[in-house]
Structure 1
């Protein structure tokens, strides 16, 4: 009888231990699922916030781009697409800290900062130091960018003439690349892609 009682107690203890382990495992599984759920929610929120930030950037500079377009004839879609491409929606260091949206280089005694930049040279991308203009505001940067198109450069005042005479944003984007604004061989295609992805041509009308 004593042996049977001990055996029953032993079995009962094992049952209790197993039950406890199952309960702990159940709650652990729920906790893990909750954590994964929170992670997914945060990811979705991040994507949403990023999307709002991009739209917010466009909405912030679009009105002034339209003003410049009306005053000088530069298509706002070109101004906006270049600002997006060159500054990563205003998030680059050059744009955030130094208010330069277009990667405009510095010459003479203009305020400037030296930063790493990528250039496409001899069929490959290289990183070099470049001196870039420093501005007080994004609007000032947009003014200077438009001025470059309007006045050209010292050695060729009509360098960007075809940007103005182009019939649509596609021709204008190609004119910007042909004038040598950037060394990227796919620069025009990237501008066109940005314009079409964010429907920037609506600001041209």
Structure 2
């Protein structure tokens, strides 16, 4: 005897295979979307880093150009008056003050690390000096200036008049005919303890074409 299906009873068809297919397609789309987002993000980030790096380099270059333009005119004035090569003055200002960014330069307008003894116009700060083949940190008393031009003029007078213990200490610097001779003389005359001082000064002058400011000085 055949049994009739019960009224209202429904036996659904199996769609397992279609569900698996749909699930597989959905997973693929999600993975592709994730990969696409990753690729876009990665290359976008690389471009951002590159842009940021290029922007920072450009800003530094602009800062350097601005600093040279700031000190060069007065360096030429001092050069004509005292005979010190402007390229040497500018290069030393760059090196000694880190483009005007050192604490001594930015806070006290001392662009050349010039020391003093009078407590009323000096400030005690830490500095590094090369002694016995190594760098050591010491406390030094440095001159404080109201304007960077005062620092530049004091630096020029130091080269012209020498130190309190040797008035002829920088005679070779003054007698030098070009910036290379003057840079070497700074080292031999004892202006700085850094063994690489001469090469640093020459490199700065050549990189930023500071020689052009020496025209007509000697």
* Band the TM-score falls in, shorter-chain normalisation: over 0.9
Distance 1:126 1:147 in 2: 28
Match for residue 2 of structure 1? 13
Measure how far apart 1:23 and its partner are.
1.9
Measure how far apart 1:106 and its partner are.
1.6
Distance 2:24 2:134 in 1: 69
Match for residue 9 of structure 2? none
Residue pairs, 1:76-155, within 5 angstroms: 76-155=86-165
1:94-130 CA deviation, whole Å, 9 max, x = no partner? 1111111001112234511222211111111111111
Stretches of structure 2 lacking an aligned partner (at least 5 in a row):
1-11
Match for residue 18 of structure 1? 28
Larger % of helix: which? 1
Match for residue 52 of structure 1? 62
Residue pairs, 1:124-203, within 5 angstroms: 124-203=134-213
Distance 2:31 2:187 in 1: 68
Name the SS of the counterpart of 2:169 in structure 1.
coil
Which deviates more from structure 2 when the two are superposed, residues 190-199 or residues 108-117? Answer: 108-117
Distance 2:203 2:49 in 1: 32
Tell me the C-alpha RMSD between the 2 structures.
Answer: 1.5
Name the SS of the counterpart of 2:129 in structure 1.
strand
Distance 1:28 1:176 in 2: 57
Distance 2:130 2:30 in 1: 65
Distance 1:84 1:112 in 2: 21
Runs (4 or more) in structure 1 with deviation over 2 Å come to none
Count of residue pairs brought into register by the alignment: 204
Distance 1:110 1:71 in 2: 29
Q: Please tell me whether Structure 1 or Structure 2 has the larger radius of gyration of its CA atoms.
A: 2
